[in-house]
Structure 1
Amino acid sequence: MHKTTILLAEDEPALGQIIKESLETRDFNVLLCDDGEKALDTYQTKNPELLVLDVMMPKKDGFTLAKDIRAIDDSIPIIFLTAKSQTQDVVEGFTIGGNDYLKKPFSMEELIVRINNLLNRTKVQKTSEILQIGDYTFDFPKQTLQHNGDEFVQLTHREAHLLFHLVKNKNKVLDRSLILNKLWGNDDFFNARSMDVFITKLRKKLNRDNSIQILNVRGFGYKLIC
């Protein structure tokens, strides 16, 4: 049975352990980090399905961490935990891209209800994200490609997100700078070269259908033709 993986970033050891153990008794898999930098590394390597972020953390606070993650992934659910009660803090949390906001102290039951609500909402959204690309079926939530019912090809997190944006802009130019800032965090030379490598990998994974092309539109970006 699949267990939902939650990344919990909380720098208070006792509270972090209580939340972790409570969620694990409800069949969640919990990755606990005690600062924002560790949380970002864990997010990038473990691909959690939901984030619970304390706002006040060392090295990288919850708001900064959320901004970094939103530059990579605009759909993962984020819940902020905070002792702050000012309206402007709540507004900032939602503006950054948070989906929910829980003020300390809170009950575990309330946190679990909010987690389940967000996961259910995300599940409904993701059912519409199985896309057809020529002879390929692209399952964006599962990050897989399948050619005419053959074996699944697993995509990396970044390959899947890049392909998703190409498909959503099918037969139109996908702005290079825009997608670099969204998925890589900035559009410098090294990230641009990295994106070229990912485009080459996607071309190879889609090469069984000759009607599919990813064109390099010099000076502008890329265009998926199908």
Structure 2
Amino acid sequence: MYTVLLIEDELALGMIVKDSLEVRGFTVLYAADGVAGLAMFLQEHPDIVVADVMMPHMDGFSLTQQIRQTDLDVPILFLTARSQTADVVRGFELGGNDYLKKPFSLDELVVRINALLRRTIGSRSRVAESDWVYIGRYQFEAHKQKLSLDGQDVLLSHREAELLRHLYEQRNHVLERNAVLMALWGDDSLFNGRSLDVFITKLRRHLRDDPTVQIVNVRGIGYKLIV
């Protein structure tokens, strides 16, 4: 039985979602604002966090930043009325794993929660990798979300580090676009595809000081990290 931490300031909606998830077999912890939600997260260590973005005291983005300081793995799903590309990209950069636009279907929420839990379990069950690897002249520490070159460190966002890890695992081979969208976003919609393009552009900037390292487009298929 999985434990869901639900953080939603609309009490009526929160109770509806809580009851619906409990009927489906989840244990649900409920908090009405970001500060209370963070305290509950640190105390209870839930399997997944479902959080509204616009909340009093601490919004969902700030909450995610705080959570990622202590836990890089727990999946975080945003409930949001904000669907601007910049807002969604920012949520992913801070460490969110998925988002669901209000109003939403409870069935879709359950599907997305289960998909995130499956991906997290699969990730945790893999054989542990080295603490750091070389990508050309760069030293990459995925767990610390850090890329280093000649003593200079760049802190990556959670999503940048996840994407670079996937590229590195398939280095010198094609990483299929649909596969990475499903692995990191949970679906391969056009909107998420655009978000992926944004993160690829960011990684290219981070890696531009070593000309032996390139991320190239493989038209119609995906990307290749050439080292």
CA-CA distance at 1:178 after TM superposition: 9.5
- Paired residue for 1:122? 120
- Paired residue for 2:99? 101
Query: Equivalent of 1:39, from 14, 37, 40?
Result: 37
Instruction: Give the TM-score normalised by the residue count of structure 2.
Output: 0.57
Q: Which amino acid aligns with 1:53?
A: A
| C-alpha distance in 2 between matches for 1:99 and 1:57 | 19
Deviations 1:45-89 (CA, angstroms, capped at 9, x unpaired): 001010001000111000000000011111110000011121111
Larger radius of gyration: 1
Pairing 1:13–2:11 present: yes
| C-alpha distance in 2 between matches for 1:178 and 1:77 | 16
Once the two structures are superposed, the pairs formed by residues 186-205 of structure 1 within 5 Å of their partners are none
- Paired residue for 1:75? 73
Q: Which amino acid aligns with 1:117?
A: A
Query: Equivalent of 1:57, from 55, 58, 70?
Result: 55
| C-alpha distance in 1 between matches for 2:49 and 2:98 | 10
Question: RMSD value over aligned CA atoms?
Answer: 2.5
Query: Equivalent of 1:24, from 22, 25, 36?
Result: 22
**2:29 counterpart SS class:** strand
Once the two structures are superposed, the pairs formed by residues 115-154 of structure 1 within 5 Å of their partners are 115-128=113-126
Q: Which amino acid aligns with 1:9?
A: I
Instruction: Give the TM-score normalised by the residue count of structure 1.
Output: 0.57
The runs of 4+ residues in structure 1 deviating greater than 2 Å are none
- Paired residue for 1:198? none
**1:116 counterpart SS class:** helix
**1:30 counterpart SS class:** strand
- Paired residue for 2:204? none
- Stretch moving more, 54-63 or 83-92: 83-92
| C-alpha distance in 2 between matches for 1:79 and 1:27 | 18
**2:82 counterpart SS class:** coil
| C-alpha distance in 2 between matches for 1:125 and 1:62 | 24
| C-alpha distance in 1 between matches for 2:51 and 2:23 | 20
CA-CA distance at 1:100 after TM superposition: 0.2
**1:22 counterpart SS class:** helix
Change (3 A) 1:28 1:178: closer
Query: Equivalent of 2:86, from 82, 85, 88?
Result: 88
**2:93 counterpart SS class:** helix
| C-alpha distance in 2 between matches for 1:47 and 1:16 | 20
**1:84 counterpart SS class:** coil
Gaps of 5+ in 1: 132-163, 183-226
